[in-house]
Each structure stands twice: as structure tokens, then as C-alpha cells.
Chain A
Amino acid sequence: MKLATVVTPWLGWLTVVLCGAGLYLGLYGSPADYQQGETVRIMYVHVPAAWMALFCYTALAVSAGVGLIWRHPVAEVAARATAPIGACFTFLALLTGSLWGKPMWGTWWVWDARLTSMLVLFFLYLGYLALNSAFDDPQRGARASAILALVGLINVPIIKFSVDWWNTLHQPASIVRMGGPSVHPAMLWPLFLMIGAFTTYYLWVLMLRMRRELTASRLRARRRMQAEEAGV
């Protein structure tokens, strides 16, 4: 808790610096694409949002699994704190993808493998959040939602490899691929800066939300103690 309090503002500043540099290079300091023109700049927010959507879901499922198996209370808190952040990233990946798809593909949406599996991921996040808070007993809610999170983990490799397994409108992998990235360094730099900014943003908000959850549980314990004292 003490470490989190110290680290939180640093994560905030790191996010601001990385985001500032990433936005400058992404919007101004990098060239337009020879085919996609200026719409390529959507990549600098779309790809980090999509990566973080997958990263957060993996972190959520691992934390929920640790909470389920070893009954580690902090793991449960981390899972619960991650879910809304991951849901926001997934929503943004879908929205910015749609805004990129319209001028480049000629459509806002298509039911192909990559887009549909990302939409399923968004519903998994919402399902986790709904199930987690659906029980009066928080322990039962944590257990039920952890099972959903673990089952839903199968969707992560499906999303990653959907562009290879099926014919989709979405382009195949261009960064994490055999033979290295196929993106020019002038575009790779702002992309990595924005991925860094999104990662530190996630850790920043995660710390805030975990501290809030832990404070809320101390608050509940304090209220219980007061009620018991008043009863005696």
C-alpha cells in the first residue's frame, strides 16, 4: 500500500511524458502512409488500445485464477480493478478501428473473425463486471466471475491468430511476426511510445483503483467493528 502510494504519481508523470512524445511524433513527426495517407495516424491509438485490451484480459484472468486457487485477496482486488480499464481499452480499439475501417475498407463494421472476437472480448469484460457484483457475498461474486474470466481466456489466442486462421478484412500481424516488424522505424517509434504510455496509464489507474478497493475493505471492516461495539 505504501509502495503503491509512492509509485502512483511517478506512473502519472511517466504517462504524461510518453503520451506527449507519442502524440507529437504520431500526429506531426511521422510521415503519412503511401497507401492509407493520413488515416495511418489512427494506428497510434488503435494498436495500443487493442494490445492493452488483450494484455489487461490476460492480467485479469491470471489474477482472478490466483485469487480462485490460492484465495489471495490482493489478486482478487487486482482482477476487479483491471476489468473496467480493459473494457475501456477494448471499447476504444473497436471504436477507433471502426473510424479507420470506414475510409480504408469502405465500411464501419464487418462480421469477420478479428472484429467479432474483439467484440466477444468486450462482452467478456462486461460479463465479468456484472457477475462480480451480482452477489451479496463478494467472495461468491469473485469466484463466479473468476471462472468466467478463465474460460474466456481462450478468446485471447483466437483474437491474436484470427487474422492467420481465417480470411479477414483486417491486416495480418505487422509488428510481432517472423522476420521482424514490417513497419518503418519512423512509424514504429511513435507506436512504441504510445504503447508505453497506454501501459503506464493502465498501471497508474490500476494502482488508484486497487488503493480504492483496499481502502473500501478497511472501511467495511471499520463499520463492522463499530456496529459490533454499538451492539455490545
Chain B
Amino acid sequence: MDEIGKFLEMGGYAGFVWPSYAAVLAVLAVLLWLSLRGLRAAEGELSRLEGDAGGARRGGGHEGASET
């Protein structure tokens, strides 16, 4: 317990060491999350659009065939 406390204390510099690591982890985690979210959204939108277009084309083809 004493060892953990000593480790967290960082020789009296805890107020400088831990915020440095926290800031790095927070900024890099947020950037990663935003990048992942952006990719997922774009991929989802594209597959939805391609699905719609495929469906419309298939539907359109069917209509066209029934007319002839």
C-alpha cells in the first residue's frame, strides 16, 4: 500500500507527471475515436447508398421487363 502511494506521489511531482500522461492518453484516444467513428459513418453511408442503388436498379429492371 505504501509502495503504491509512493509511486502515485511521483516524488512530489504527481501534479506534473500524471496530468502529462492523462493529457496524452485523452487526446490520442479522442483522435482515434473520432477517426474510427468517421470511417464507420462513411462506410455505413456508402453501403446503404450502394444497397439502395442496387435495389432501385433491380426494381427498375423488373418494371422495365414487365412493360415489354
A residues whose Cβ falls under 8 Å from a Cβ of B? 23, 27-28, 32, 37-39, 41-42, 45-46, 49, 84-85, 88, 91-92, 95-96, 99-100, 102-103, 201, 204-205, 208-209, 211-212, 215-216, 218-219, 222-223, 226
Contact = CB atoms under 8 A, between A and B. Distances in A.
Contact of B20 (A45, A222, A223, A226): A45
Contacts of B10: 38-39, 41
Binding site secondary structure of chain A? helix
A92 B28 CA distance: 9
Given A45-B24, A88-B31, A212-B35, A39 B50 contact: no
Nearest to B50: A222
Contacts of B16: 39, 42, 99-100, 102-103
B11 interface: yes
B27 to A, nearest CB: 5
10 contacts: A37-B11, A39-B17, A45-B24, A91-B27, A92-B24, A100-B20, A208-B35, A208-B36, A209-B39, A222-B53
Contacts of A102: 16
Which residue of A46, A205, A212 has the most chain B CB atoms within 10 A of its CB atom?
A212
A80 B3 CA distance: 46
Binding site secondary structure of chain B? helix
Q: Which range holds the interface residue count of chain B?
A: 20 to 34
Contacts of A49: 24
B42 to A, nearest CB: 4
A46 B53 CA distance: 50
B42 A216 contact: yes
Nearest to A28: B7
Which residue of A37, A91, A95, A99 has the most chain B CB atoms within 10 A of its CB atom?
A99
Contacts of A28: 7
A204 B32 CA distance: 9
Contacts of B49: 219, 222-223, 226
- Which 5 pairs between the two chains have the least Cβ-Cβ distance? A38-B11, A215-B42, A212-B39, A38-B10, A208-B35
Contacts of A222: 46, 49-50, 53
